Amino acid sequence: MVLSDAEVSIVTVLYAFTMLAAIVGNSLLIYIVWKKPEVRSLTSSMFVNMAIADLLVALFMMPLSIVNAHTESKWKVPGLPGDIICRGSILISHATLIASILCLVFMAIDRYCAIVCPLSVHSVWFRKAKFVTPLIWVMSIALMAIMPVVYKLNYEHSLCEIDPNVLGQNPTFRGVYLYIFFITYIIPLATICPLYAKAARKLWFNQEPGNHLIEEQQLRLLVTRRKVVRMLVIIVVVFAICWLPAQVIHLFWVATTFRENPPEIVMYLGFWLAHANSAINPWLYIALSTKIRLAFNRMVTFRKSHPALRKSTQGMSHSTKASTFQEAKV
């Protein structure tokens, strides 16, 4: 079963708009954090890391999906070079996806450390972007290193697909898709949800008795932390919803050992929604993060401002940077 001409057009248009939104949104987020020191924190660093991964999804996976829709998934590069590119593209695409997901996991761990055990010695080294960023990419490549082993170019049918001879047809298909299901969905959510639940309980319900009068600085810090946790929970929920159809398709393949397929358009739309998460993430962060949103608004309106107003805005920026020094550590 292949896509009809109308379905190919629908998939192409959806991916084209999604690619544009992903490239613009993630590039804009990286630029804001790079140019505006007052918005920098470990959370924003993790979002920059995620933005880089999401940019790679937009530049590698989304164009490949469009090509597959137009060529019926036929691999156009023949021979050994085609096999190398097949395995390499599979590694890059899966590693970038898991890197984006691992950023959500590490942000959840960071929030837990900052809120539940802020004075722990073990959390100090962990909450450093210079350590966490390379760790995420090393873990991503290591976790997805199995993919170039189990994928190969099928020379006869010109398809980049799972090699059924690795462990035998049924064990290989089931093993690969179960592995993807647990590594990219179940384990991250099973890690993130309890951490945010404990952090939320600490923020909203575990206030010490008799301490009703909280100093203004402490209250501001508490409100900031609540906003950050609320924002990250929303982003995780969006991730879970966007990836659910693709994971259901993976489980369907596990149950049928790839002998049956859902309708072609359903598969493309399911994986498009998963890829669309890479376009949604930066715009969600810009909309939900107060500091990022203010920096974005100032950047958009800066050129329209009167020169005197620009100086005033710059002064406000320095003031904001000083007043939010403690919040940047949150």
What are the tens digits of pLDDT across the range 295-326? 888 877 765 554 544 444 444 444 444 444 34
Residue 251 near residue 177, CB atoms below 8 Å: yes
Which 8-state DSSP code applies to residue 304? G
Residue 93's contacts (CB-CB under 8 Å, 6 or more residues apart) are 57, 60, 61, 64
Q: Count the Cβ atoms, other than its own, within 10 Å of residue 99.
A: 25
Distance of CA 56 to the CA centre of its chain: 11
pLDDT in the model for residue 322: 42
Tokens of 297: 């608004």
Q: Are 290 and 70 in contact (CB under 8 A)?
A: no
Alpha carbons 128 and 208: distance in angstroms, whole number: 29
Contact 47, 103 (CB under 8 A): yes
Element spanning 226, H or E: helix 216-256
pTM: 0.81
Q: Are strands 159-162 and 151-154 parallel, antiparallel or unpaired?
A: antiparallel
The answer to whether 33 and 49 are in contact (CB under 8 A) is no
Cα–chain center distance at 79: 34
Nearest residue to 170 via CA among 261, 249, 258: 258
Mark the ranges of the chain whose per-residue pLDDT is less than 70. Answer: 1, 42, 118-127, 169, 205-218, 220, 302-330
* The pLDDT of residue 209: 45
Predicted local distance difference test score (pLDDT) of residue 211: 47
* pLDDT given at position 324: 41
pLDDT digits (tens, 9 = 90+) for 182-226: 999 999 999 999 988 888 887 776 554 444 445 566 676 777 777
Question: Residue 1 has what pLDDT?
Answer: 54
181 C-beta neighbours (distance < 10 Å), count: 18
Please list, in sequence order, all residues whose beta carbon lies within 8 angstroms of the beta carbon of residue 268, skipping any fewer than 6 positions away: 3, 7, 11, 65, 69
DSSP 185-202: IIHHHHHHHHHHHHHHHH
Lookup: tokens for 81: 């070079």
